[in-house]
Structure 1
Amino acid sequence: MYRILFSLAFILHFSYGIYAQETTFYQDVAVINGISEGLPTASIDQITIVGDTPTATTSSGQYEWKNSKWISKKNGDSPTPLPKYKGLPIEAGKVLAATNYGNTNYLGCENGLYVKIGHNKWKQELPYDQNYSWALKEVAALTVDSKGRLWFGAKQGVGRLEKGQWTLFTGKEGVPYNRFTSAASGPTGQVWFGTENGAFKVEDDKFFYRSNRRWLPHNHVNDIAVDVEGTAWIATQNGLAQIISKEMTYADKATHFTNQVEARHNRMGFICQSHLTEQFNINTSQLAISDNDGQYTAMYGAAQAFRYAITKDPKARELANRSFFALKWLVDITHEPGFPARVIIPVDWHEPVNEQYSKEYNRRHQKNDPFWKDIFPRFPLSEDGNYRWKCDTSSDELAGHYFNYGIYNDLIAETKEEKDAVKQVVADVTDHLIRHGFKLVDYDGKPTRWGSFDPDYFNSIWGWDQRGLNAMMMLSFLNVASHVTGDPKYDEVAEILREKENYDIYAMHAKEFFPPENAVPWDNNLGLMSLYGLINYEKNPERQIMYRIALENAWLHISKQKNAFWDGLYGAMAGFFTKKVDEGFFKPEELFIENPLFAKASIDRYYKSSLDNRYMTETLQRIPLDLIGYDMDNTHRLDIQLDPTPGQVKDMGWGNDTYSLPIDERGHVRLDRDATVLHDNEGNGYAEHEGTFYLLPYYLATYHNLIEP
């Protein structure tokens, strides 16, 4: 974790500048302290800060923070118990917390909040505001913030007293949990609360929940102290966490993630996640392979292409080129022109890849998944004998490839070699699909499991639910091919699919959203990346209107997921449409003449984007710098509402604002997952994910002027 902090400090001094005045924000970073930093294995019972020195008190003694280590403090004091308070009514119960406010004492007790009103006299406070009136229980947290306001944490929720007026907060207002243990105030008005299940910060009436191993070594918080820099020192039953807020810019963060990808996620030019041999330790990172190396490499290449278009940084151009030629290699290595492999690995790869997918494995797998393809070897040998490539390529891969092809062609390809290369690979892949009746056909002469884009498949019992997405994707591939190659045959093929097979009508419902088992989140990536090429390169005004309707239908179903990539793609494409309207591209009186009112009504309705970019900027700012996959459980929270959709699996839900929880509080950092999953696990600390999931939405949004940079 210290490597992240060092890298961040370096970035803040040396990151490149894109704009004269850049947006700044505060990035929370967690540093976990345990045995390796000098703490004992015992519970950290108390944390105090005297001057600039944090002191941790444990059952085995006290420890001082010096030179980034905890040093045993000789003759350290034991925790100071709360004194006995004379005159406190017996019905108040045990004293749980105490503070001074307004030159008097406040006590948090088992059965109420009490204020001293005279010599050995106490009065019970009954806080109320316009929404609530409380007789408090279990008032275990009290503090006074730097703005002179009293705060409590009790069973009912959180309260703030300012100028004699109470403001009360429950789960509805954002309180995530209510079994309090402690509270502490920071230098700029922020207040931290410790609970038996995580900690949270309140700042400007916004709540930031910090729980699970992403933020804490243990969820039971014993005590919190905040230093003059605003760093929260959080003592738990198993170690201590520092949560540091660092001011940075979007460009600073992009530099951090580009460095992260290049250091730990680049395998022969392919972008991949990494496996950690030691839980939570990025120093034990090993490059991994996945089914979607092509898609993830395409996304990284697109990010660098947008970066180059914005900054003209030659390094960005180099990385975009490297990614494109890696994608081209996936196509060039296989059994016939135009079939892209999923993965390429050296022949001496350390895992026994074919043995994992034996004939016996395939037959067993088909018992639970009847569409699983029985093909062996799944990793054929390359013609030169130096590599293996993975077959059974899916529509996910094609969506990534074509998304990259168009962007690479438009923003990067300058030399004859580059232009010829992109034209060739686009023609090869598209011609393969056409030659095989709109199917990806494997080396066994049969279609891949997820590679069917043909009319017979769409009209079958097993393909009808895919026809909207796959028909739209096929039209997108043809539009990209027409744009990149300039060959009119691709427009002619697309016209046949539209006029004879209704592909454009199918494309208007490009995503299934019900029943829940059909609504897999990565299909949103496929759909929106493919719509980007379809809408961007469509020349017919009637179809532009149809595809704009398809875009709105697809995005509205996911618009509350706080997904910066999906929001960015939607905003960019909605912007394409708005620009065409402003340029006079549409002549409503000449369109859809069988219903002369339809074109104008649609143009008026969809002229303006419905994007609220607040949620895109929130996600970009709050994507953690640490992309290790942690187990994150939010099912206990008070500020959520469960998804009542019939047939929905359990543990799905939203924040009480009806949007998904912020990304740094969720169980995933990848922007191809369902943000409404309340208990999620992306590797349980044994996987680090690639920074593309920040880089692509950031550079995409900046290029399309969707955020204030």
Structure 2
Amino acid sequence: MNRPNFYFLFVLITVTCLSCQPNDQEKESMAALPVYDDVPYLQDYAIKYNVNEGITSLSKAFMDRNEVIQVMSDKGVLRTKSGQFLYPGTLVEDKTYRPLTDKNVRGMTTYQNQFVYVDDKAVFSNAWAGTPYFEHELPKADRVVSGDGFDFMISDGRSLQFVSKSKAGWSGELMDDTVRDMLYDGNTQKFWMLGERSLASFDTTTNRFETKVVGEGFTSFALNGEQLVIGSDSGYIVMDPVSGKQVGERYNQLPATEITYITAINGQLWFGSTQGAFKLRENGKFDYYYGKRWLPGNKVLHISQGTDGSVLILTDKGLGRIVFEKMTLFDKAQYFEKQVRDRHIRYGFNATLVDFENGNFDMGRLSDSDNDGLWTSMYLAGQVFRYAVTQSEEALQNCRESMDAMEKLFSINPVPGFPSRSFDRSGYIDVLHDPDRWQNSSDPEWDWKATTSSDEAIGHMFAYGAMAELMDNDLKDRAITLIDTLMSHIVRNDMYMVDYDGKPTTWGRWNPEYVNARPKMVGDRKINASNIIGMLQTAYHFTGKEKYKEKTFDLMENHGYLENLMRPMDQVGMAPDDADDWSKMLSESWNHSDDEMYFVGYWGLYRYAFNDSLQAKYKEAIIDHWEIERPEKEGLWNIMTALTETPDFDLNEAAWYLREHPMDLITWDIKNSHRKDLEFIAPNFREQTTREVLPPDERRIQRHNANMFRLDKLGSDGTQEYSAGDIWLLPYWMGRYLGVISEPVKEREVNGES
């Protein structure tokens, strides 16, 4: 990167995992670490159905016992066509029952999980052999709700009528008010009607109608236990239906306060609003469904429970069906493995899919990146850990293909030991308009990207170190060769990466003249020292060449690199006013790319320490860094910290990151800055915006080098898809290798069955 830091059905798969055999000391250390049992959990994802042109109004959406979905619209009854995860369907006219298309159907509901309709003449259904047919006297009726024993209440927005199979009918109206919503309470056998300013009930056992005037601006309501929850354009209130009095204060600390719909599903309140939908959790916080990751539009019109356990959220732009699929982290990994291989491998690189519209990734192209070497290193390391755990031939082949690309980064350019940023076939990159980065290769078929940074270098060394340690085949030797190749270049060039022009690259600088020129609080002084010590240790560990060990101790003993890397993280901050401009630029705010470089580099720093004394110091530095990162609940940082064998590394938060990460990795627009349920904090150097970090599925798709506290991301709505290779698979497979995430646990084992 350029620093500074400016289908779908899941098949539960049971496998037998073959672990590499650790030595006795490693077994003892691993036994002391906590382990996350990979039991099934509910993973949510969305199946979306867009509305066709010509349909201007939608009102209700329901699913019947056959899992058929119907939607009420101004063009009559619609049904879903096609649609699966990442492949949206559409809402089309339902022609299944020809008589239904001829009737003036304006409202619908369900009774006993069967569709029930209201037209200008009657309440009726095609279920029960079409027997239910109850005539009414409201020719403009467009709302219907079911009770018990084929009881129904209908309304045209002003008048009300009760029709029943076995009870006397009734008609009436709200007192100078408009009906906004209706529901039925089976415990009291009452229908409740909500107006904009009032609340009324109708007792089906006595035919008694009672009106209570309680407020204004009401929009929707739900029965939650023995209380009524009433939404408005400024939050919601809770009311005791017996006394008619409000319980507590108005609730407005919500993701969005303009409530459009409320319902209770399995004892949990779901809210629709003008800015998405949200569910109230038991801990008082919310799960927020905003944007096209979840919904075709953000103005929610109706929410209902599907008979398959999904939740139907109808918006002005179509239907979002939130599916809750039981799976383990291993099942999720299997999906992401396929996602990477299907859409994100470019010449063996781990790449991003770009240049498509509205989430249609089948129209996208694979893009080169300044960080092809880094993103691929992280994916490659993940596949090394996967192979170490499972002995998967697929993982082994993935490693081979990515290593082919990594080796070509060195061989495609004329500079000995210098890794290119990337490469592509000639003619597909405008070399003339980016002459600093793109260069012609001696092979006329290829161009290569120069100006390689320290980000790529540390990524290379991380992946090669893991491969050299854990592979026992030709890949081990290939990895050691590249370790020696890269580090020989750096040592030979006085601790710089030197480009095609004979000059050091902007960021490939580990020489003391550069590193120690920075004031002590500037992050580059610490990060560059930490990274290069880890890189040199890795090179010595696998090559045995004394030049690497000698250079390491020279930097630590004669140039203060050990002191640099041990400097506490809370001392990193902005450069003083009298510092040079470069140092000021480097320290304008916290650099999250540096975090990624630190933690990727900790593998070589800690794993290949020269002695126990140094390793103890490195452990202190790693845990100090982890402590300051803890608010981010970053899955990779937490699992990387387990490398030090400390039992305290926020394993639960790491598992939370993996579970809560969305399956959909498309760059949909995300907005959270408007939310009233978040506790915002004052602007600060770390750019932390809220007291607690949001779950990954409520924020933008981002790699590990981004600010987890960034609340909004607008402008690239559905135009790119990121690869799970570095974002998700690396922390998962590293956790599996380190033994802090178990192999998948069968559901019967969770329930204590044999």
TM-score range, shorter chain: 0.7 to 0.9
Q: 2:111: which partner in 1?
A: none
Q: 2:271: which partner in 1?
A: 193
- Please show how residues 330-369 of structure 1 align to structure 2 within 5 Å: 330-349=409-428, 351-352=429-430, 354-358=431-435
- Please show how residues 167-178 of structure 1 align to structure 2 within 5 Å: 170=251, 175-178=254-257
Q: Could you list the per-position Cα deviations for residues 465-515 of structure 1 after superposition, in whole angstroms to 9, with x for gaps in the alignment? A: 411000110101011111121223312110110000010110023868534
Q: 2:387: which partner in 1?
A: 308
CA separation in 2, counterparts of 1:331 and 1:682? 36
Residue 56 of structure 1, aligned match among 71, 85, 91: 71
CA separation in 2, counterparts of 1:15 and 1:139? 51
Q: Do residues 405 (structure 1) and 494 (structure 2) align? A: no
Quick one: percent identity of the two aligned structures? 27
Q: Report which stretch shifted further, 474-483 or 536-545.
A: 536-545
Q: Could you list the per-position Cα deviations for residues 30-60 of structure 1 after superposition, in whole angstroms to 9, with x for gaps in the alignment? A: 122125xx57552323223454433212223
CA separation in 1, counterparts of 2:640 and 2:249? 39
Mark the runs of 5 or more structure 1 residues left unpaired by the alignment. 1-5, 126-135, 359-374, 579-607
Contact kept in structure 2, 1:475 and 1:494, CA below 8 Å = yes
Q: Do residues 262 (structure 1) and 341 (structure 2) align? A: yes
Count how many residue pairs are aligned between Structure 1 and Structure 2. Answer: 624
Equivalent AA in structure 1 for residue 689 of structure 2: G
Contact kept in structure 2, 1:508 and 1:546, CA below 8 Å = yes
CA separation in 2, counterparts of 1:397 and 1:573? 22
Q: Do residues 282 (structure 1) and 297 (structure 2) align? A: no
Q: Report which stretch shifted further, 297-306 or 158-167.
A: 158-167
Change (3 A) 1:529 1:83: same
- Please show how residues 154-553 of structure 1 align to structure 2 within 5 Å: 154=232, 155-157=234-236, 159=238, 170=251, 175-186=254-265, 188-205=266-283, 207-349=286-428, 351-352=429-430, 354-358=431-435, 375=436, 378-412=437-471, 414-415=472-473, 417-460=474-517, 465-509=523-567, 514-515=573-574, 517-553=588-624
Q: Do residues 25 (structure 1) and 25 (structure 2) align? A: no
CA separation in 2, counterparts of 1:191 and 1:181? 13
Change (3 A) 1:158 1:574: farther
SS at structure 2 position matched to 1:208: strand
CA separation in 2, counterparts of 1:54 and 1:690? 33
Q: 2:689: which partner in 1?
A: 653
Q: 1:604: which partner in 2?
A: none
CA separation in 1, counterparts of 2:418 and 2:55? 55
CA separation in 2, counterparts of 1:679 and 1:442? 37
Equivalent AA in structure 2 for residue 33 of structure 1: Y
Contact kept in structure 2, 1:55 and 1:64, CA below 8 Å = yes
Q: Could you list the per-position Cα deviations for residues 563-582 of structure 1 after superposition, in whole angstroms to 9, with x for gaps in the alignment? A: 21122112x2331xx4xxxx
- Please show how residues 594-613 of structure 1 align to structure 2 within 5 Å: 608-609=647-648, 611-613=649-651
Q: Do residues 573 (structure 1) and 643 (structure 2) align? A: yes
SS at structure 2 position matched to 1:633: coil
Residue 111 of structure 1: CA displacement? 4.7
Residue 560 of structure 1, aligned match among 628, 631, 638: 631
Q: Report which stretch shifted further, 640-649 or 622-631.
A: 640-649
Q: Could you list the per-position Cα deviations for residues 520-556 of structure 1 after superposition, in whole angstroms to 9, with x for gaps in the alignment? A: 2222110111122101111333322322222123222
Residue 258 of structure 1: CA displacement? 1.1
Q: Do residues 626 (structure 1) and 664 (structure 2) align? A: yes
Equivalent AA in structure 2 for residue 141 of structure 1: S
Contact kept in structure 2, 1:668 and 1:682, CA below 8 Å = no
Residue 304 of structure 1: CA displacement? 0.8
Contact kept in structure 1, 2:222 and 2:230, CA below 8 Å = yes
Contact kept in structure 1, 2:353 and 2:720, CA below 8 Å = yes
Q: Could you list the per-position Cα deviations for residues 365-391 of structure 1 after superposition, in whole angstroms to 9, with x for gaps in the alignment? A: xxxxxxxxxx3xx22222333211100
SS at structure 2 position matched to 1:688: coil
Residue 149 of structure 1: CA displacement? 7.2
Q: Could you list the per-position Cα deviations for residues 63-101 of structure 1 after superposition, in whole angstroms to 9, with x for gaps in the alignment? A: 1346766442413511324454769676xx654333233
Residue 704 of structure 1: CA displacement? 1.7
SS at structure 1 position matched to 2:263: strand
Change (3 A) 1:67 1:680: closer
Residue 199 of structure 1: CA displacement? 0.6
Residue 689 of structure 1: CA displacement? 0.4
Q: 1:595: which partner in 2?
A: none
SS at structure 2 position matched to 1:560: helix
SS at structure 1 position matched to 2:667: coil
Contact kept in structure 1, 2:409 and 2:421, CA below 8 Å = yes
Q: 1:96: which partner in 2?
A: 180
CA separation in 2, counterparts of 1:24 and 1:681? 34
SS at structure 1 position matched to 2:588: helix
Residue 310 of structure 1: CA displacement? 1.4
Q: 2:139: which partner in 1?
A: none
Contact kept in structure 2, 1:46 and 1:223, CA below 8 Å = yes
TM-score, with structure 1 as normaliser: 0.81
Equivalent AA in structure 1 for residue 498 of structure 2: V
CA separation in 2, counterparts of 1:163 and 1:550? 62
Contact kept in structure 2, 1:184 and 1:226, CA below 8 Å = no
SS at structure 2 position matched to 1:194: strand
Residue 631 of structure 1: CA displacement? 1.1
Residue 695 of structure 1: CA displacement? 0.7
Equivalent AA in structure 1 for residue 610 of structure 2: K
Residue 318 of structure 1: CA displacement? 1.8
CA separation in 1, counterparts of 2:484 and 2:49? 55
Change (3 A) 1:149 1:383: farther
Q: 2:730: which partner in 1?
A: 696
Change (3 A) 1:183 1:39: farther
Q: Report which stretch shifted further, 520-529 or 613-622.
A: 613-622
SS at structure 1 position matched to 2:93: strand
Residue 296 of structure 1: CA displacement? 0.8
Contact kept in structure 1, 2:49 and 2:80, CA below 8 Å = no
Q: Do residues 34 (structure 1) and 123 (structure 2) align? A: no
CA RMSD of aligned residues (A): 3.1
Q: Do residues 674 (structure 1) and 695 (structure 2) align? A: no
CA separation in 2, counterparts of 1:221 and 1:642? 26
CA separation in 1, counterparts of 2:559 and 2:489? 20
Contact kept in structure 1, 2:18 and 2:391, CA below 8 Å = no
CA separation in 1, counterparts of 2:559 and 2:542? 25
Contact kept in structure 2, 1:298 and 1:324, CA below 8 Å = no
Q: Do residues 77 (structure 1) and 105 (structure 2) align? A: yes
Q: 1:121: which partner in 2?
A: 210
Change (3 A) 1:163 1:323: farther
Change (3 A) 1:341 1:666: same
Equivalent AA in structure 2 for residue 56 of structure 1: V
Contact kept in structure 2, 1:513 and 1:557, CA below 8 Å = no
SS at structure 2 position matched to 1:223: strand
Q: Could you list the per-position Cα deviations for residues 210-229 of structure 1 after superposition, in whole angstroms to 9, with x for gaps in the alignment? A: 01111111111111222111
Change (3 A) 1:34 1:156: closer
